[in-house]
């Protein structure tokens, strides 16, 4: 089957746009309604969102289901249907809380479980499908496109839904959520229709269907799969650990107002988006150059992130006069470059090893990413509190946490370089001519 062109990549990116459209309502609008309109503790929506991340641990199981079935499209659409149901269920849950907090909480808990399942099942299979249908030189750009299209889903839905939600009522919330969920599912159906064809998972008909436990242990035994999962976990903890402490740090050290720190967060996210686009453009325009490789951008992004975090440590020492805002933008730029390259590397490495384990392999890495991203902000905030307990200066406590994040990025850079070297060596062995089958078979570990 011919590799996907740019139009095909954009088509699959529409699934991410649809996914982002549903998720943004649950993590922003539903969150606000619980806290403001219903006057509930802010911890409650935080726990529900945390539940959505916790379910990501099951991604390998859903990937195994796709491996066994040999088809990805049913998992993508099934996941989107589940997500759509969960998105509407979250709106229904807060509407029910007007009269019964307990009943509304029960519905919301189930809804956020469905959201986590839907995101994990559809997202895992979508990345596997992209990795199978997109040629190697276009994978960094494809990773950028699908991520940016998810952000577009956030932006467009937030603006459009915000318009139709005013004047606010719970019936309007239900109508808007239902419309977004239905439209998102319809877009997903049209986006994936006919893309997979007869099936892209390489599944041997005579291969026995082994249980999930055996399959996950087999994948974990692969050096590159295990090492990449550790890399994803450490780097994503470092990536998200500053989420809850950067704005308080800016307020304490530079005296920024809440409005100014909110703008600072926007500046950082703009840097993330710019970094992703930069990776996609450079990798496409200079496809034959070293700067187009996922290794270059993954390692470089981790090192640049560590440098930007060192800048935050320096800003704590220097205070006023330090170019703090440019440093925050640099942190976002480096984070975006690393994230886009890491997804591109994930799409390439998922095809190394037993081809009939691609789904469970992607699921393992997706679980590492989801758990780390969900826990990272909490870990960063807890680390800051612990540091403040032992260190008299609040500013110095923040600096210690930023320095620890920088160290995590340095470790991640070393791991990324090691993974790239192992992968290149494995591909070199696989491409050697087999003049002596028995000897080459031993060399390949067969």
Maximum Cα–Cα distance across the chain = 76
Task: Give CA angle at 286 (339, 327), nearest 5°.
Answer: 40
**For the segment 47-98, what is each residue's pLDDT rounded down to a tens digit?**
888 888 889 889 999 888 888 887 899 999 999 999 999 999 999 999 999 9
Residue 106, pLDDT score:
96
d(CA 440, CA 122): 39
Contacts of 16 (CB under 8 A, 6+ apart): 123, 126, 146, 147, 149, 150, 153
Closest CA to 265 of 249, 247, 239: 247
pLDDT surpasses 70 at 313: yes
Size of the chain, expressed as the number of residues it contains: 446
- Residue 300, token pair as written in the block: 């470089």
3-class SS letters over the chain: CCCCCHHHHHHHHHHHHHHHHHHHHHHHHHHHHHHHHCCCCCHHHHHHHHHHHHHHHHHHHHHHHHHHHCCCHHHHHHHHHHHHHHHHHHHHHHHHCCCCHHHHHHHHHHHHHHHHHHHHHHHHHHHHHHHHHCCHHHHHHHHHHHHHHHHHHHHHHHHHHHHHHCCCCHHHHHHHHHHHHHHHHHHHHHHHCCCCCCCCCCCCCCCCCCCHHHHHHHHHCCHHHHHHHHHHHHHHHHHHCCCCCHHHHHHHHHCCCHHHHHHHHHHHHHHHHHHHHHHHHHHHHCCCCHHHCHHHHHHHHHHHHHHHHHHHHHHHHHCCCCCHHHHHHHHHHHHHHHHHHHHHHHHHHCCCCCHHHHHHHHHHHHHHHHHHHHHHHHHHHHHHHHHHHHCCCHHHHHHHHHHHHHHHHHHHHHHHHHHHHHHHHHHHHHCCCCCCHHHHHHHCCC
- Residue 414, token pair as written in the block: 């070393």
Residue 428, pLDDT score:
57
Residue 344, pLDDT score:
86
Mean pLDDT of 230-243: 90
Residue 206, pLDDT score:
45
**For the segment 91-132, what is each residue's pLDDT rounded down to a tens digit?**
999 999 999 999 999 999 999 999 999 999 999 899 889 888
Please compute, for residue 111, the number of CA atoms within 13 A of its CA located in the half-sphere on the CB side: 31
Dihedral pair phi/psi, residue 311, rounded to 5°: -65, -40
d(CA 380, CA 398): 9
Closest CA to 60 of 191, 237, 218: 218
d(CA 370, CA 358): 18
d(CA 119, CA 123): 6
pLDDT surpasses 60 at 39: yes
**For the segment 181-216, what is each residue's pLDDT rounded down to a tens digit?**
999 999 999 999 988 875 555 554 445 577 888 989
Whether 219 and 361 have beta carbons less than 8 Å apart is answered as: yes
* Residue 395: burial class (beta carbons within 10 Å; 0-12, 13-18, 19+): middle
Residue 411, pLDDT score:
97
* Residue 108: burial class (beta carbons within 10 Å; 0-12, 13-18, 19+): buried
Closest CA to 30 of 97, 129, 124: 97
First to last CA, the chain: 28
Distance of CA 263 to the CA centre of its chain: 23
CB count, 10 Å around CB of 175? 14
Q: What is the mean pLDDT of the chain?
A: 85
**For the segment 148-190, what is each residue's pLDDT rounded down to a tens digit?**
898 888 888 888 888 898 888 999 999 999 999 999 999 999 9
d(CA 256, CA 309): 19
Residue 437, pLDDT score:
41
């Amino acid at each position: 089957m011919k590799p996907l062109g740019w139009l095909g990549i954009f088509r699959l990116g529409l699934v991410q746009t649809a996914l982002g459209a549903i998720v943004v309502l649950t993590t922003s609008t539903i969150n606000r309604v619980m806290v403001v309109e219903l006057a509930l503790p802010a911890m409650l929506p935080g726990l529900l969102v945390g539940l959505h991340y916790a379910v990501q641990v099951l991604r390998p199981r859903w990937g195994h289901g796709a491996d066994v079935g040999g088809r990805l499209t049913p998992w993508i659409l099934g996941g989107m249907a589940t997500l759509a149901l969960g998105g509407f269920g979250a709106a229904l849950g807060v509407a029910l809380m007007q009269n019964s907090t307990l009943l509304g909480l029960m519905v919301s808990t189930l809804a956020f479980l469905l959201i986590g399942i839907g995101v994990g099942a559809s997202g895992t299979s979508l990345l596997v499908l992209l990795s199978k249908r997109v040629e190697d030189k276009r994978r960094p750009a494809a990773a950028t496109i699908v991520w940016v299209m998810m952000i577009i889903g956030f932006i467009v839905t937030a603006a459009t839904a915000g318009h139709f939600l005013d004047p606010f009522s719970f019936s309007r919330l239900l109508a808007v959520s239902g419309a977004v969920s239905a439209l998102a599912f319809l877009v997903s159906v049209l986006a994936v229709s006919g893309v997979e064809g007869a099936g892209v998972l390489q599944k041997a008909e005579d291969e026995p269907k082994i249980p999930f436990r055996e399959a996950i242990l087999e994948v974990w035994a692969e050096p590159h799969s295990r090492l990449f999962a550790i890399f994803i976990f450490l780097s994503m903890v470092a990536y998200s650990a500053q989420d809850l402490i950067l704005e308080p740090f800016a307020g304490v050290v530079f005296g920024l107002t809440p409005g100014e720190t909110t703008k600072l967060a926007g500046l950082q996210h703009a840097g993330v988006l710019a970094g992703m686009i930069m990776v996609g453009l450079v990798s496409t325009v200079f496809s034959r150059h070293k700067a187009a490789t996922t290794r270059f951008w993954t390692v470089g992004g981790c090192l640049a992130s560590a440098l930007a975090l060192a800048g935050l440590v320096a800003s704590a020492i220097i205070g006023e006069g330090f170019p703090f805002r440019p440093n925050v933008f640099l942190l976002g730029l480096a984070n975006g470059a690393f994230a886009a390259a890491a997804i591109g590397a994930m799409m390439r490495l998922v095809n190394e090893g037993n081809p009939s384990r691609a789904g469970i392999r992607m699921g393992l890495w997706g679980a590492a990413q989801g758990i780390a991203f969900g826990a990272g902000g909490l870990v960063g905030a807890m680390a800051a509190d612990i540091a403040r307990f032992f260190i008299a200066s609040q500013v110095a406590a923040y600096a210690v946490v930023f320095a620890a994040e920088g160290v995590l990025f340095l470790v991640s850079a070393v791991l990324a370089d090691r993974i790239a070297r192992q992968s290149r060596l494995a591909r070199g062995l696989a491409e050697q001519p087999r003049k002596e089958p028995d000897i080459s078979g031993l060399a390949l570990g067969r």
